[in-house]
Chain A
Amino acid sequence: MRRVKIGIVATVAAGTLLAVWGGVASAREADSTASLAAAQAKLPPLPADIRSRGRFNIAVKCDTPPFGYIGARSQNAGFDVEIARLFAKFAFGKPNRVTMSCVTTPAREPALTTGRVDLVIATFTYNTDRETRIDFSRAYYKATGRLLVKNGGSVQGLNDLAGKTIATTSGSVYDRWVKNCYKDTKLVITDGFTNALLAFRDGRADALMFDDTILLGIAVTDPTTKLTDDLFLQQPYGIGIQQGNVALKRWVDSRLNLMKKRDLFFPILKNTVPPKQVAPFSKNILRPKQTFAYNQGDITTVCS
């Protein structure tokens, strides 16, 4: 069992080293360690237990590009992963001072409640129900629901959904929203986005419902499909923190605000998404003059 653990640590450490060596962090070089230290001087300090450990334990996704995935060189990569590395740099001066573990969607909450990790940065959608069991940082990313359809297909908007079939991923807000609000619509629910896309491509579903930026990437590469004009289910992502860990939440919130103030999300974005998608994606991140907050109440029961 020990060897398994050592193996995991070694693998993650090797992956982290590789990524750093690969120069993924280049865009952030401008923000030198010294200036980061100065900027943080008046911000809340890191909780003592993490400081004495000398590194973060952070849960990320490994099968959800572009947020958390395994890159071509077998390294952890993605938007959420880069935030985790920047946090390590804030806390310890080096982006590799973080042990990343891969979580599945249902394992995210238990990872926090059982203290497996300090933080969960894994496309974690805020909702008031989850808030009763874990704490969330301020919102750091805002996904919006869109509908991808075939050009000239039978679905050209949310109004056409009655009697049609929609593909989306299991347990997502879309899954619950369609079940609540479009009772005449059939669902193809899959594990992972690729399988939802497959269901749509091969005709098992008339439309694909998912996050704006992911669908945009598909629409750009597949000229036979397009996004409808409907915008629905704004879902800000937050960073998950163990409930009641006020000191850590203060640390995280203050660093996210610092990143907003210095526009540090934008270079991460440029490093993680295709150049064509930087503009649309950039509407979803925190920037000096761009902000958003969580929805209160359960958005999946609100039918338009």
Chain B
Amino acid sequence: MSSLLALGFDPSFFSDVWSFVDANADELQAGLRRTLLVSAIAIAGAFFIGLVLGAARAHRVPVVSQLAAVYVEVIRNTPILVQIFFLFYGLPQIGVRLEAFTVAWLAVMIWGGAFNTENFRAGFEAVPARLREAGFALGFGGISTFLNVTLPIGGRIALPSSINTYISVVKNTSLMYVISYPELTTTVLQVQALTLQTVEAFTVLAATYLIIVWTLSALIRFLESHLALPKAL
């Protein structure tokens, strides 16, 4: 602390930040709630997209696998910000109108789904063939083998990388600033424009994202140590 003071750090800074939060509690809470809501919808959607398309890719289901590959490549190789512009500002020209809220969750869901398809494909493909053969030997059909063997094992392999994708989904909701959807970043910037408390505003904004992201990262490490597959596999 004394070294911080020597650097010209003002300890009243913390109380300034707190009074900023206190004075704008309603807006900030609403913004955070929208960030979490949009993230939750997108993560749930990205989970199902990844599961279904990842399985289709890993098992080379005809047509679906190829379409999934195109989807993954288009999304991975174009910036998500341009995808958001295209959905919100480009589509209305051809008559497709989406609300800001819809674009907010849809854009990050489509994006997260593409990355998750790759995560799950890699996870499913990492399941040793002999385990699936064991499933067939026990009399399971293709779908039961997938549900009872490939999914539990491959899903565990894919879990850390898919949580990484969900972390990026949360961070990418900040881009909804460009369509004025009042999630956390948009809200804090609006409050900052009114109050001109630049330092306080950006401190709160950065701290909130770091708390969310670091919590999720800790979750990955916890799951990695608790869900690790036995070495014998």
Chain A contacts to B: CB under 8 angstroms: 106, 133, 170-171, 189-191, 194-195, 198-199, 201-204
Question: In the complex, what residues of B have CB within 8 A of residue A189's CB?
Answer: 180
Whether A106 contacts B89 in the complex (CB less than 8 A), given A191-B178, A203-B97, A204-B97, comes out as no
Tell whether, in the assembled complex, residue A204 and residue B92 are in contact, meaning their CB atoms are under 8 Å apart.
Answer: yes
Closest to B90 in A: A198
Q: Which of B167-194 contact A (CB under 8 A)?
A: 178-180, 189-190, 193
Tell whether, in the assembled complex, residue B193 and residue A198 are in contact, meaning their CB atoms are under 8 Å apart.
Answer: no
Tell whether, in the assembled complex, residue A191 and residue B179 are in contact, meaning their CB atoms are under 8 Å apart.
Answer: yes
- Of B95, B179, B180, B193, which is within 8 A of A202 by CB? B95
**Selected A-B contacts with CB under 8 Å, 7 pairs:** A106-B189, A171-B190, A190-B179, A191-B178, A194-B89, A198-B93, A203-B97
Question: In the complex, what residues of A have CB within 8 A of residue B179's CB?
Answer: 190-191
Q: Which of B149-178 contact A (CB under 8 A)?
A: 178
Question: In the complex, what residues of A have CB within 8 A of residue B193's CB?
Answer: 106, 171
Interface of B, helix, strand, loop or mixed by DSSP: helix
List 10 other contacts, CB 8 Å, given A106-B193, A171-B193, A195-B89.
A171-B190, A190-B179, A191-B180, A194-B89, A198-B89, A198-B92, A201-B92, A202-B95, A203-B97, A204-B92
Cα A189 to Cα B186 in complex, Å, equals: 13
Cα A204 to Cα B101 in complex, Å, equals: 14
Judge if B196 is at the interface, Cβ distance under 8 Å: yes
Measured CB to CB, the closest approach of chain B to A261, in angstroms, equals 37
Q: Which of B192-232 contact A (CB under 8 A)?
A: 193, 196
Tell whether, in the assembled complex, residue B92 and residue A133 are in contact, meaning their CB atoms are under 8 Å apart.
Answer: no
Closest to A194 in B: B89
Cα A194 to Cα B97 in complex, Å, equals: 14
Cα A170 to Cα B88 in complex, Å, equals: 15
Closest to B178 in A: A191
Measured CB to CB, the closest approach of chain A to B82, in angstroms, equals 14
Q: Which 10 A-B pairs have the closest CB atoms?
A: A170-B180, A198-B92, A202-B92, A189-B180, A204-B97, A195-B89, A202-B97, A191-B178, A191-B180, A106-B193
Cα A190 to Cα B98 in complex, Å, equals: 13
Question: In the complex, what residues of A have CB within 8 A of residue B92's CB?
Answer: 198-199, 201-202, 204
Question: In the complex, what residues of A have CB within 8 A of residue B95's CB?
Answer: 202
